[in-house]
Amino acid sequence: MTADQRTDAGKGATAPVAEEATHDLTVASDGHSSSGSQSGVRRFTTDSADGPDFTLGEYDLSERAALRRVAGLSTELTDITEVEYRQLRLERVVLVGVWTTGTLAQAENSMRELARLAETAGSEVLDGLVQRRDRPDPATYIGSGKAKELRDVVDTTGADTVICDGELAPGQLRQLEGVVKVKVVDRTALILDIFAQHARSREGKAQVELAQLQYLVPRLRGWGESLSRQVGGRAANGVGIGGRGPGETKLEIDRRRITARMSKLRKEISGMKTARDVKRSRRDNNQVPSVVLAGYTNAGKSSLLNRLTGAGVLVENALFATLDPTVRRAETSDGRVYTLSDTVGFVRHLPHQLVEAFRSTLEEVAAADLILHVVDASDEDPEAQIKAVREVLADIEALDVPEQIIFNKVDDADAETQLRLRSLVPSALFVSARTGFGLDDLRQLIEERLPRPDRSVVALIPYTRGDLLARIHSDGEVVSEDHTNDGTLISARVRPDLAATLEEFATV
C-alpha cells in the first residue's frame, strides 16, 4: 500500500441534488429581515434585547473574508453579526482527507461519504486526495508537500473550493487556504450547511442556527484580537450595539451578540420542547407505545415509514432529507395503536454541535419503546453505519431502549453481501421498502416487540363511559364482555395506567 492514495471519491457517488442548492436561508426568528447595501454598510433590525436598528459600519475586505471563512458562509455575504446565514456556494470542489487509522477501504468510504455530502450541498466533486499520516498536520491539516500537490489538483480541475474530511482548527483552514488559494471548508461546516438547507420547521431552523453559532464562537476566538477594532466611539454615541462603552472591540461585540442570540435560541428550543413534551406525555398517558425509526442518513427510514403507515413523507435520494421528526399513528393487525416516528438521519462524525442542538428532538428516540435501527444493506460499509448510529444513540442515552436492526434495500444487495450481513447481525431483519419484501415480517416483529398489556382487570363500565370501553378495546386485550343492566361487564388485560383508571369500576 502506498503512503498517499488518490481516491475515486467523486465517482461512486450519485447525482447531485441541485434543487435549492443556492437557496438562501434567513434565520432571524422574529420575521425581521436584514437588508444589506452594496457599500458594505449594513443596517438591519435586531431582535436582541440590546436595542433596535443599528449600523454595523464597514468591515474591510479582509475582515469580511475572515468572517465568511469562519462561518463557512457564502461568498457574497455578509456580516456575521446580522445573524443571517446563507448556504455555502460550493460549486466545483476537491476533497481532501487524512487517513490516520483503520484500513484504506474505510478511509475511502469516509471520502465517498464526504463526496455524497458535498453533492447533497449542491456541488460537483472533481477529485479527492487522501494522505496517510499519523495525525493531521497542525499547520495545514495535510503535509506541506501534499498541500502543494492539492494546489496543483485545484489548478488543473479549476475547483473553487477544497473540503476537508474532518473538523479543522481555524488556523489550519486559513493556512491551507493560503497554499491552495481557494476557499477551504471542513466537514462540520459542510454538514451544518446541509442541515441549514433542509431545516423546515421553526424548531429545526432554530436548532441548526444554534449549532452553527456553537461552531462559530471558538472560531471567532481563532482569528482573534488582530481583527478586532475599537468601535467604542460608535457604541458610545448610541448608534452602536447597546454599547458597553469605549474600548469594546468589534470581536467582543460580535461574541457578545452571538452569545445573546444563542441563549435566545436555547430558550426558544426549550419552549418548543415543552410543547412536544406535553404532546408526548399525552401519548404516554394514553399509553400509546412508540416505535422510532433511527438510522444512517439515506438508509430508507422515510420510505419505511411511508410503507408502514401510508404517510406521505418526503423521500429523497439525498442525505438528510428528513430533519424534523415525523410522528405517525399506526396499528397492529390486532388493532393495537402505536406511534411510528422518523428521525433525523445520522452520519459519521455528526458534528457534536448538532447532536447537542438536536438533543431535544433526539430525546424522542431515548423515550421510545422500540428503536428500529435501519441500515442500508447496499452500502459499502454497513458496519461503519451501525457504529456511527450507535455512537449517537449512546450520546443521547438511548442504548437501553430495545433495538432491532433492519437491513433495508436488500433488493440492491447481492446474496454474498446478505450472507455476510446475516452473520454480522444474526437477529437482523432483511427488508426492501422499494419492493415490499419482508414488510409483513417487519409488521409482525413490531407487533411482537411492542409492550403488551399485562394487568388483568374485571370492571363494570357504565354505558355513559363508552370512551373507556373504546380504550380497552383499542389498547388492551379483551377476554370477555357482557352487557348487563348496569353497564358492560368486561374482563381484559390492559396496561398499568389504564388499569389504574379502571380501578373505580373494578368488580374484583
Nearer to ligand GTP (CB atom), residue 194 or residue 502:
194
315 binds ligand GTP (CB under 6 A): yes
Q: Would the CA dihedral through 437, 441, 444, 445 be positive or negative? A: negative
Tell the burial category of 237 from Cβ atoms under 10 Å away from its Cβ (0-12, 13-18, 19+).
exposed
Does 356 sit near ligand GTP (CB under 6 A)?
no
Q: Judged by CB under 6 A, which of 232, 345, 382, 438 binds ligand GTP?
A: 345
Interface stretch with ligand GTP, choices 19-27, 291-299, 397-405, 446-454 (CB under 6 A)? 291-299
Question: Position 223: which residue type?
Answer: W
Told to check if 361 binds ligand GTP by CB under 6 A, we report no
The one among 172, 361, 408, 488 contacting ligand GTP by CB under 6 A: 408
Task: Count residues near ligand GTP (CB under 6 A).
Answer: 23
197 in contact with ligand GTP (CB under 6 A): no
Instruction: Assess contact for 437 and 411: CB atoms under 8 A.
Output: yes
Stretch that binds ligand GTP, among 159-167, 270-278, 318-326, 457-465 (CB under 6 A): 318-326
Binding string, residues 422-441; x marks residues near ligand GTP by CB under 6 A: ----------xxx-------
| Residue 312 beta carbon to ligand GTP: minimum distance, rounded to whole angstroms | 12
Question: Which residue minimizes CB distance to ligand GTP?
Answer: 345
Q: Answer yes or no whether residue 355 interacts with ligand GTP by CB under 6 A.
A: no
* Element spanning 5, H or E: strand 4-6
H or E segment and range at residue 499: helix 496-502
161-164 and 183-186 strand pairing: parallel
Site of grid cell 429523497: 316
For residue 323, how many other CB atoms are within 10 A of its CB? 24
Q: What's the chain's Rg over C-alpha atoms?
A: 27
Cis peptide before 297 (omega within 30 of 0): no
Does position 120 interact with ligand GTP (CB under 6 A)? The reply is no
**Least separation in angstroms between CB 298 and ligand GTP:** 5
Q: Which amino acid is at 209?
A: E
CB of 353 to ligand GTP, least distance (A): 19
The CA distance from 502 to 488, in Å, is: 13
Q: Does 81 bind ligand GTP (CB under 6 A)?
A: no
Cβ 423 to ligand GTP shortest distance, Å: 21
* Strands, E assignment, 180-282: 183-186
Query: According to DSSP H, which parts of 286-347 are helical?
Result: 301-309
Would you call 372 helix, strand, or coil by DSSP?
A: strand
Q: Which is nearer to ligand GTP, 228 or 432 (CB)?
A: 432
Q: Smallest distance from the beta carbon of 421 to ligand GTP, in angstroms?
A: 14
For position 261 contacting ligand GTP by CB under 6 A, the verdict is: no
Stretch that binds ligand GTP, among 326-334, 395-403, 409-417, 489-497 (CB under 6 A): 409-417
Please say which residue, 244 or 328, places its beta carbon nearer to ligand GTP. Answer: 328
The cell numbers describing 61, all together, are 475586505
Give me the count of residues in the chain: 508
Q: 453, 476 in Cβ contact below 8 A?
A: yes
Query: Which residue ranges make up the site for ligand GTP (CB under 6 A)?
Result: 295, 297-303, 315-317, 319-322, 345, 408-409, 411-412, 432-434
